[in-house]
Structure 1
Amino acid sequence: MQAQPNILIVDDVPENLSVLGELLQPTYRVRAANSGARALQIANSPPPPDLILLDVMMPGMDGYQVLRELRDNATTRDIPVIFVTAMDGTDDEEKGLDLGAVDYITKPIRPAIVLARVRAQLELKRARDILSDHNAYLEQEVARRMAENQLIQEVSIHALAHLAETRDPETGNHLRRTQEYVRTLARGLKHHPRFSHYLDERTIGQLAQSAPLHDIGKVGIPDHILLKPGKLTPDEWAIMKTHAEIGAEAIAQAIADSARPVEFLQIAQEIARGHHEKWDGSGYPRGLAGDGIPISARLMALADVFDALICARVYKPPMPYEEAYSIIVSGSGTHFDPDVVDAFIREFDTFKRIADNYAE
């Protein structure tokens, strides 16, 4: 059974309160206030009124001021207010409606008119409440599904990336570390004049999301080369380097198969193809240089090299953080974008924390 609506009547004249109370109480739960201050106190206490019948001419705080206070308060701003007043001028009515009143009833009141207008406003409020609750549910459902889709997407990305990892068991937490290094560099460059046009929060999230796919092309490298414990021959190294294009082409095929554009895959393709390019043009697979290298790939290049330096491999021990730091810094302007190196220098402590948190 639906609960009776709560109505607050506000008037400084006891007789007026009595008349309205007797009219409304058979149908509604009624509370009364004989001043603007008391009305605000009641309106802000549970249960809130579903409707307020408010006198205009009151000593101290008049009805207009009470309405302003109600509308300025997030708790009470949506409570409908009907002015009930002896002021029957058009200007008075317009002023009340401009302030946010939903209706205007003049005294002396006519019971049938009051009841009809009260009922109409309560029905409107009920409809608004239902719509608001429905919208809130829809927003929650959209947020839940987006979060679910995001989780599925992230799991799928890591599943794909781990295909490369299963071919190269020494990588361990490499994906997670490089992902966080890229995120750290991007945030460190977010306000830099050369990068601010690109590095908004959405793009930073997509960069971090895409980073684990940087070596997906290794699935196309033969085991005898990928798992070789010693130094590769020139011919083997030439084959190894093809993993960048293999990965980019695989992602390009995924983009082509998609029914609509998927932004993070575009970034993933840039990273897969370009994370071995060097600032001076001596990298691979395309020998890109300077700003010709996508920003995403420049960030990934530094993250990938730093992690490779500090991690153990069958052919080398792990390098101390400070030694890896020196190598990265010495590569500024040759291997790496100088501004990306500057961000690395500023965030070096964060890099070390990430490496410790996701150690092998």
Structure 2
Amino acid sequence: MKALLIDDNPTNLFMLSKLVQNAGLADVVSFKDPVAALAEAKVVQFDIVLCDYMMPGLDGLQVVKALRALPDYADVPIVMVTTVDQKQVCYDALEAGATDFLTKPVDMAEVKARVRNLASLRDMQNKMRDRAEWLSAEVRKATYEMSLLEEEIILRLSRASEYRDSDTGAHVVRMARTCREIAEELGMTNQFCRDIYLAAPMHDIGKIGVPDAILRKPGALTADERALMQTHTAVGASILAGSDSRLIRLAAEIAETHHERWNGSGYPRGLAGTMIPISGRIAAAADVFDALVSPRPYKDAWPVQKAVDYLVENAGTQFDPKVVAAFQARLHRILRILEEQPDAGGLAA
């Protein structure tokens, strides 16, 4: 433990230093100048401070107040050394934050006892602080592990839907990355940008409830088949509903709303404009663009520019205009995503 002694009288300072050392604190630093002592306290963490009241420049009360104002000295024991008749000084020192008092002339036995007691108090404080830091680290570790578990669950659920759908794993990765790009351009929080990236791959989880004959049909769907296909949004929301996880709740929101349209002509609820959650509006543009530039059993891949033009032409009807503008602003990065995560058969030029 480190002790800081402040007294402008060299004799008093020498005597206090010996007494404190005899009390068991071998690491003692002494200052005659209170200003220099405060400067040292800003860079060195002391465990106990003994300070005289009557000093030139700064008195003991000012030193106590200055120490308590430092971030690491809120709980450090501070002992004020006063004369017997300075009762008001003692009261003022208590108000300033002093922990204990010693009166001059100091009693050697009293100094040792008080310093030992305060050293024990400080030792307990340090142990409690270390315990709190350890617990905080354990909480952070557990939170991180839970986050990894959530991400793994999302990834596995997304893979489950891929087994039945004609979409590839590359599609859901590209779509998720594109969602994050759009969200960042829109100025969404870092937390939201991360969350939408992790939740977006589950947007089509509800296709688990659609028959293979419809999912893999090479031609156009009939009206009845289209109606059955459209149920995947409600099925996906149902699968993901009721979770305490923020990510799963966001995934449920995206699964339900990524086929809603800006003009209210989408499904399943016919939401319009900003009644559609921003997550659904972002996912709608990202999903449609990537689906257009990717080959499917029922169509060839579109050229990239044709797909971009489709989003622009349908801004304000199918898509949120602000989302499309953000998509265009990040197009150079989204095209890089297409290059980095190609389908097995490649993408259209």
1:209 maps onto 2:192 in alignment: no
Q: Deviations over 1:275-334 (max 9, x none)?
A: 112122222233333334333222211111121123233554544443322211111111
Cα contact 2:176–2:200 (8 A) shared by 1: yes
What residue is the counterpart of 2:347 in the other structure?
A: none
Q: Deviations over 1:36-79 (max 9, x none)?
A: 24434554566x43211112322344444444443444455553
For residues 209-248 of structure 1, the aligned pairs below 5 Å read 209-248=198-237
- Which of the numbers 4, 8, 31 marks the counterpart of 1:8? 4
Q: Deviations over 1:166-205 (max 9, x none)?
A: 2235422222222233233334334xxxxxxxx6555554
Bigger mean CA deviation after superposition, 289-298 or 51-60: 289-298
What residue is the counterpart of 1:118 in the other structure?
A: 115
AA paired with 2:215?
L
Which secondary structure state, in structure 2, belongs to the residue aligned with residue 271 of structure 1? helix
Per the alignment, do residues 206 and 28 of structure 1 end up closer, same or farther by CA in structure 2, a change over 3 Å counting?
Answer: same
TM-score, structure 2 as length reference: 0.85
Cα contact 2:166–2:215 (8 A) shared by 1: no
- Which of the numbers 85, 89, 95 marks the counterpart of 2:92? 95
- Which of the numbers 321, 329, 333 marks the counterpart of 1:338? 321
Unaligned 5+ runs, structure 2: 344-349
Unaligned 5+ runs, structure 1: 191-198
Per the alignment, do residues 14 and 67 of structure 1 end up closer, same or farther by CA in structure 2, a change over 3 Å counting?
Answer: same
AA paired with 1:10?
I
Per the alignment, do residues 319 and 49 of structure 1 end up closer, same or farther by CA in structure 2, a change over 3 Å counting?
Answer: same
1:286 maps onto 2:278 in alignment: no
AA paired with 1:290?
G
Bigger mean CA deviation after superposition, 329-338 or 164-173: 164-173
Cα contact 1:96–1:104 (8 A) shared by 2: no
AA paired with 1:310?
V
Deviation at 1:357, TM superposition (A): 4.0
Which secondary structure state, in structure 1, belongs to the residue aligned with residue 146 of structure 2? helix
Deviation at 1:157, TM superposition (A): 0.9
What residue is the counterpart of 2:17 in the other structure?
A: 21
The number of residues matched between the two structures is 341
Deviation at 1:336, TM superposition (A): 1.0
AA paired with 1:20?
L
Q: Distance in 1 between matches of 2:338 and 2:95?
A: 61
Per the alignment, do residues 87 and 152 of structure 1 end up closer, same or farther by CA in structure 2, a change over 3 Å counting?
Answer: same
- Which of the numbers 139, 142, 146 marks the counterpart of 2:143? 146
Deviation at 1:131, TM superposition (A): 1.0
For residues 51-130 of structure 1, the aligned pairs below 5 Å read 51-74=48-71, 78-86=75-83, 88-130=85-127
Deviation at 1:141, TM superposition (A): 0.6
What residue is the counterpart of 1:158 in the other structure?
A: 155
- Which of the numbers 32, 37, 40 marks the counterpart of 1:39? 37
AA paired with 1:332?
A
AA paired with 1:132?
R
1:276 maps onto 2:259 in alignment: yes
What residue is the counterpart of 2:185 in the other structure?
A: 188
Cα contact 1:44–1:76 (8 A) shared by 2: no
- Which of the numbers 46, 49, 68 marks the counterpart of 2:46? 49
Bigger mean CA deviation after superposition, 104-113 or 212-221: 104-113
Cα contact 2:159–2:169 (8 A) shared by 1: no
Per the alignment, do residues 75 and 294 of structure 1 end up closer, same or farther by CA in structure 2, a change over 3 Å counting?
Answer: closer
What residue is the counterpart of 2:346 in the other structure?
A: none
AA paired with 1:346?
A
AA paired with 2:49?
I
1:168 maps onto 2:157 in alignment: no
Q: Distance in 2 between matches of 1:61 and 1:357?
A: 66
Q: Distance in 1 between matches of 2:303 and 2:75?
A: 62
Cα contact 2:217–2:297 (8 A) shared by 1: no
Q: Deviations over 1:127-180 (max 9, x none)?
A: 111111111111111111011011101100110111111223542222222223
Cα contact 2:150–2:247 (8 A) shared by 1: no
Cα contact 1:168–1:226 (8 A) shared by 2: yes
Cα contact 1:88–1:106 (8 A) shared by 2: no
Query: Identity across aligned pairs (percent)?
Result: 41
- Give RMSD over aligned pairs: 2.8
